[in-house]
Structure 1
Amino acid sequence: MPARELQEQLNALREQLDQNPPLSEEERAELYELMQQIELKLELETKTHDSSLADGVNLAVERFEVAHPTIAATLRNIVQSLVSMGI
């Protein structure tokens, strides 16, 4: 089930952030905001297509790709789950 996989990926991202990678406060806040948006979307269980959420996660992938590849990989998995869910 894509929703369960997405929640697992969000949990993995949360665990990575809990390990205090070298992120600025702005970067950390951006990731937490994205996680909150995704979790809210999951709670609402909406079937409408909202490309802005996936776009936001894609932008975060680009931003963190070089300096934080593990976080970027987790974000890519989140994008894939969002796409699978039609979000």
Structure 2
Amino acid sequence: MPARRELQDQLNTLRDQLEQNPPLSESERENLHQLMAQIEAEIELENQLQDNNLVDGVNLAVERFEVDHPTIAGTLRNIMNTLGSMGI
């Protein structure tokens, strides 16, 4: 499914951004890694049921990072849009 490939590409972009060591606290970094793990688990399971917790978590992360880390927030927005297009 193209949306899943796009989502995986966006996760890879986020992973690359995190590897550049932006000034994040340990809790912020851990939060992003947990979100990424949840999204990857959703991809692997190919579960088409809506998971509001996952979408809410990504949305909260967007709000948390949009001021100090707009690039990360933009990638998270793309992830959220892709999840929505997948019906998640």
TM-score exceeds 0.5: yes
In the TM superposition, what are the counterparts of 1:24-39 in structure 2 within 5 Å? 24-39=25-40
SS in structure 2 opposite 1:57? helix
TM-score (norm 2): 0.98
Greater CA deviation, 71-80 or 45-54? 45-54
Per the TM alignment, residue 38 of structure 1 is displaced from its structure 2 partner at its CA by 0.1
SS in structure 2 opposite 1:33? helix
In the TM superposition, what are the counterparts of 1:1-87 in structure 2 within 5 Å? 1-87=2-88
- In 1, Cα distance between the equivalents of 2:50 and 2:26? 30
- In 2, Cα distance between the equivalents of 1:58 and 1:51? 10
**Runs of 4+ deviating beyond 3 Å:** none
RMSD: 0.4
Give unpaired runs (5+ residues) of structure 1.
Answer: none
Sequence identity (%): 67
Greater CA deviation, 48-57 or 9-18? 48-57
Per the TM alignment, residue 85 of structure 1 is displaced from its structure 2 partner at its CA by 0.4
Per the TM alignment, residue 52 of structure 1 is displaced from its structure 2 partner at its CA by 1.2
Per the TM alignment, residue 59 of structure 1 is displaced from its structure 2 partner at its CA by 0.2
Per the TM alignment, residue 47 of structure 1 is displaced from its structure 2 partner at its CA by 1.1
The amino acid that maps onto 1:59 is: L
Give unpaired runs (5+ residues) of structure 2.
Answer: none
- In 2, Cα distance between the equivalents of 1:28 and 1:57? 13
- In 1, Cα distance between the equivalents of 2:53 and 2:31? 15
